[in-house]
Amino acid sequence: MTGIIIRDASRKFGSVQAVDHVDLTVAEGEFFTLLGPSGCGKTTLLRMIAGFCELDSGEICFGDRRIDRLPAHVRDIGMVFQNYAVFPNLTVAGNVGYGLKPRRVPADEAARRVDEALALVQLSGFGERKPHQLSGGQLQRVAIARALVIRPQVLLFDEPLSNLDARLRVSMRGEIRALQKSLGITAIYVTHDQEEAMSVSDRIALMNAGRLEQIGVPAGIYRQPASRFAAEFMGTTNLLQARQLGLAAPVWVSLRPEALRFADDAPAGWPRLAATVARVEMLGPISRFDVTLANGTVLRMATLDAPDRAVAVGDAVTVAYEHARLTVLP
């Protein structure tokens, strides 16, 4: 295992500052995610680590070894791409073992390592199949096996699940997380999907316009966002001025929808607000509501499904919120 240290890394494309003086440390064996919207710099930063994109300034180290000046093929990384990047003319075994050839691994050891890698991703017995005979999830497993077979120090994932359907993405992200932990390998994962990031990561770096907006454990970033951008990007929130809730403080606050309840279901000490139901959305285990306060402020709520509660658009209701869940923002 090895940790990753990034110091003052920058990269500019024309007038666009894609990565802007980033300092970051990833611990040994950590599953670390770069999260953010399209164009925020997360993929550029990953490519800088991989060796596919040069730094304008700064340095990247694996442990005490500086690697940003080394060619990509000697950095000892395994990379899993969004589009699988498998060779259609090769078998599954040929694809997985492809990276062993330039490393001059003897044929018998290469075959053994390919079998081991396929077993790790639950594809034992698939070695002689061609890529067109596999499903999307199986192709992604081939890509992961190919990254693992070279026994890298660092494993990089570039939006690996974005081409899969929603149900398969959920199962595959769990498999990736479990495999990474079982191997103890240091991993950096790039995604724009907040739920995906929160489900797999030890820590998350939220990026915005080339800079690190906030770094922390998933629950910490969600519950204590450091900025308006972080509050809005990490899930759904009510972003409003405190006075809109009847508070005197001249500050912006974030209030998550699940921190609101109908008054009948709320503890006695929670502040109450009169409102009118503007929208009802039933999503199986949860229901979402938009309620409009007397001052015109619209609040979004999310509650567990309650079959005995009948709430319709236009109903006058009283809602309550957990004051401790208000996060004051700069």
* Contact indicator for 174, 24 with CB cutoff of 8 Å: no
Instruction: State the average pLDDT for the chain.
Output: 95
pLDDT at 265: 92
Better pLDDT: 2 or 38 = 38
Q: Which two tokens stand for residue 241?
A: 């001025």
For residue 170, report the phi and psi dihedrals to the nearest 5 degrees.
Answer: -65, -45
Alpha helices in the chain (DSSP H): 42-50, 92-96, 107-120, 136-149, 166-183, 194-200, 218-223, 228-233
**Per-residue pLDDT band at 1 (split at 50, 70, 90):** low
The CA distance from 34 to 19, in Å, is: 12
CA distances from 88 to 9, 91, 133 (A): 36, 8, 10
Give the model's pLDDT for residue 84.
Answer: 85
Under DSSP, the state recorded for 310 is -
* pLDDT tens, position by position, 171-183: 889 999 999 999 9
Residue pair 183/210 in contact (Cβ under 8 Å)? The answer is no
pLDDT tens, residue by residue, 11-35: 999 999 999 999 999 999 999 999 9
Confidence of residue 61 (pLDDT cuts 50, 70, 90): very high
Q: What domains does the chain contain, in order, with CATH numbers?
A: 4-232 (3.40.50.300), 237-329 (2.40.50.140)
Going by C-alpha positions, the residue among 238, 249, 213 that lies closest to residue 325 is 238
Mean pLDDT of 44-51: 97
Cα 101 to Cα 97: distance, rounded to the nearest angstrom = 7
Q: Whose structure tokens read 């923002």?
A: 329
Quick check: 244 pLDDT over 90?
yes
Look at residue 64 in the predicted model and tell me its pLDDT: 93
Looking at residue 82, what DSSP letter applies? Answer: T
Which pLDDT score, from 0 to 100, does residue 308 have?
Answer: 84
Residue 79 Cα to chain centre, angstroms: 16
Average pLDDT over residues 49-63: 97
- Residue range 223-232, pLDDT digits in tens: 999 999 999 9
User: Residue 284: pLDDT above 70?
Assistant: yes
| pLDDT on residue 96 | 96
- Over residues 77-130, the pLDDT tens digits come to 999 998 888 999 999 999 999 999 888 899 999 999 999 999 999 999 999 999
Residue 162 pLDDT grade (very low, low, confident, very high; cuts 50, 70, 90): confident
Indicate the angle between helix axes 107-120 and 136-149, nearest 10 degrees: 130
Question: 3-state SS of the chain: helix, strand, coil percent to 5?
Answer: 30, 35, 35
Q: Is the pLDDT of residue 152 over 80?
A: yes
Closest CA to 22 of 12, 9, 36, 34: 9
Token digits of residue 126: 């698939």
Encoded tokens for 41:
């710099």
Check if the beta carbon of residue 68 is closer than 8 Å to that of residue 55. yes
- Band of residue 295 on the pLDDT scale cut at 50, 70, 90: very high
Q: What band does 201 get if pLDDT is binned at 50, 70 and 90?
A: very high
Task: Judge contact between 113 and 105, C-beta under 8 A.
Answer: yes
Question: Tell me, what's the pLDDT at 178?
Answer: 92
Per-residue confidence (pLDDT) for residue 48, from 0 to 100: 98
**What's the pTM?**
0.92
